């Protein structure tokens, strides 16, 4: 498009051939003209139709464009070499001409230096802004300009288009669309560097966007990767494939919780460290050690049962209760009474519940916060650890933990829960208390 020439192989519009390449060419021009409120794509849709009609109306009113015999029909249709196509070429040429007139003159290139952090250098061209810089700039509502002093005319058309798709997608849409493919392509060329940038982008989205945008952003990139690359992408995100490229401290490996082992005589040796189990028991029973395996506190569902105050969700995670709230008979447990009388089954159930919570925390990316230190509501430093997250999830659930972490990121890790729903504030304080109390308690038996 640097020449202003927009060539189509077939019509684009309602009921037309809508070749993906043609649609992308048309949408690129519409995007340049600020008529398309999303990144250019390859599928014709209602918004493409509306944008073409808006372009046709604008062209009819533009004195610079010679329409010919009469005004363009507002039909949302672009035919190869038709009147709308010719006018669109003119519009594209004007856009490029305005850019060339206003763009700063290229400066002599400075001696090359090795890129640091997430920044990348385009070979033979200017230094391109990182994903993090793009998102931060758009979050502040600033217009698109290439990173330091590189003029747009010095970048290739593909590089400019990719940068616009990225910035526009992160700013305006829920689904990442072609942005995800751009990042996946970059990952194949440079996995650690791309993931470092991806994390920075996601951190900004967690503060300025919605939970749905964050989830779609991550899953969109994963969907563009083959299974092998996807596995490496996940490992790099988790910090278990060599750490972050920017030199930050690598988070510890997050292998699944082992299942424990049977002992002679029908006993069970838990894979959960005794210190963690004892502290969990004391916290769950509010410091009353006399409340042992036979304890039962009535409440929602089956209430809270035994030494570790196992609730219905935990028992479902462990397989003792099904989705309809019925006892499954696992470990010979068919009632609350059975479980209260069976310490070994309670130990097994705790392992099963924590295994499930571990998987849930890994899936919802709560473990990405491991290693982060902040000042808690009591003014004490808290470091987020695997044991702390598991203890918090045991009481408030993995979703509750994820929501708390999202709140903290959005508020720059300030433990101030005023201004939110009082019930949610109570949950957040309880989660933070668990993070503080269990941050140095080993969870895995050595």
Q: What string of DSSP letters covers 244-291?
A: -TT-PPPPPP-PPPP--EEETTTEEE-SB-HHHHHHHHHHHTTT-TT-
Residue at token pair 């951190």:
203
- Taking 60 as the threshold, does the pLDDT of residue 42 lie above it? yes
What's the pTM? 0.49
Three-state secondary structure call for residue 385:
coil
Q: Both tokens of residue 320? A: 């003792």
Better pLDDT: 203 or 244: 203
Taking 50 as the threshold, does the pLDDT of residue 188 lie above it? yes
Contact at 8 Å (CB) between 38 and 177? yes
- Residue appearing with tokens 């533009």: 62
Name the band, by pLDDT with cuts 50, 70 and 90, for residue 289: low
Token duo for residue 430: 């309880």
Burial class of residue 60 in the structure, from the number of CB atoms within 10 Å of its CB (0-12 exposed, 13-18 middle, 19+ buried): middle
CB-based contacts of 324, cutoff 8 Å, min separation 6:
none
Give the range among 5-19, 92-106, 200-214, 259-273 with minimum mean pLDDT. Answer: 92-106
Element at 197 (helix H, strand E): helix 191-208
% of residues, the chain, pLDDT over 70 = 66
DSSP-derived secondary structure for 171-184: HH-SS-THHHHHHH
DSSP output for 290-352: T--TT-EE--STT-EETTTTB-HHHHHHTTSB-TTS-B--GGG--SHHHHHT-HHHHHHHHHH
- Judge whether residue 240 has pLDDT over 60: no
d(CA 181, CA 185): 6
> What value does the mean pLDDT take over residues 312-331?
94
Q: Is the pLDDT of residue 165 over 60?
A: no
Mean pLDDT of the chain: 74
Q: What is the pLDDT of residue 49?
A: 85
User: What integer pLDDT is reported at residue 342 of this predicted model?
Assistant: 94
Question: Which pLDDT value is given to residue 110?
Answer: 46
Residue 271 is predicted with a pLDDT of: 93
50 or 90, greater pLDDT: 50
Name the token pair of 180: 């995800």
Range in 37-51, 91-105, 155-169 with the lowest mean pLDDT: 91-105
Among the ranges given (54-63, 104-113, 386-395, 423-432), the one the predictor scored with the smallest mean pLDDT:
104-113
For residue 255, is pLDDT > 50? yes
Instruction: Provide the CB-side half-sphere exposure for 124 (13 A, CA).
Output: 2
Structure confidence at residue 134 as a pLDDT band (50, 70, 90) = low
> Regarding predicted confidence, which is higher, 73 or 92?
73
Residue with the two structure tokens 């003029």: 151
């Amino acid at each position: 498009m640097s020449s202003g020439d927009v060539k189509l192989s077939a019509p684009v519009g309602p009921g037309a051939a809508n070749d993906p390449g043609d649609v992308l060419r048309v949408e690129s021009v519409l995007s340049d003209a600020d008529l398309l409120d999303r990144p250019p794509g390859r599928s014709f849709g209602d918004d493409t139709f509306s944008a073409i009609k808006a372009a046709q109306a604008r062209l009819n009113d533009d004195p610079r464009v010679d329409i010919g015999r009469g005004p363009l029909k507002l039909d949302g249709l672009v035919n190869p070499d038709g009147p709308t196509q010719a006018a669109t070429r003119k519009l594209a040429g004007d856009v490029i001409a305005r850019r060339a007139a206003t763009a700063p003159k290229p400066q002599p290139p400075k001696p090359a230096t090795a890129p640091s952090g997430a920044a990348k250098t385009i070979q033979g061209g200017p230094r391109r802004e990182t994903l993090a810089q793009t998102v931060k700039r758009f979050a502040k509502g600033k217009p698109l300009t290439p990173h330091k002093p590189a003029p747009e005319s010095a970048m290739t058309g593909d590089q400019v288009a990719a940068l616009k798709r990225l910035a526009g997608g992160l700013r305006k849409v829920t689904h990442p669309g072609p942005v995800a493919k751009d990042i996946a392509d970059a990952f194949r060329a440079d996995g650690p560097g791309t993931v470092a940038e991806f994390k920075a982008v996601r951190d900004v989205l967690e503060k300025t966007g919605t939970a749905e945008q964050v989830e779609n952003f991550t899953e969109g990139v994963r969907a563009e990767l083959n299974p092998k690359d996807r596995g490496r992408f996940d490992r790099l995100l988790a910090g278990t494939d060599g750490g972050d490229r920017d030199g930050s401290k690598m988070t510890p490996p997050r292998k699944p919780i082992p299942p424990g082992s049977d002992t002679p005589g029908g006993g069970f040796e838990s894979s959960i460290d005794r210190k963690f189990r004892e502290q969990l028991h004391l916290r769950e029973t509010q410091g009353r050690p006399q409340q042992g395996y036979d304890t039962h506190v009535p409440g929602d569902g089956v209430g809270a049962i035994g030494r570790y105050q196992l609730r219905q969700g935990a028992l479902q995670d462990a397989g003792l209760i099904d989705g309809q709230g019925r006892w499954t008979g696992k470990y010979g447990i068919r009632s609350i009474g059975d479980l209260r009388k069976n310490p070994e089954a309670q130990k097994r159930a705790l392992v099963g519940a924590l295994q499930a919570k571990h998987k849930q925390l890994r899936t919802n990316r709560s473990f990405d916060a491991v290693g982060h230190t902040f000042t808690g509501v009591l003014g004490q430093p808290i470091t987020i650890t695997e044991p702390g997250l598991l203890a918090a999830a045991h009481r408030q659930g993995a979703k509750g933990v994820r929501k708390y972490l999202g709140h903290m990121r959005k508020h720059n890790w300030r433990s101030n829960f005023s201004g939110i729903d009082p019930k949610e504030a109570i949950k957040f304080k309880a989660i933070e208390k668990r993070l503080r109390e269990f941050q140095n308690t080993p969870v895995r038996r050595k």
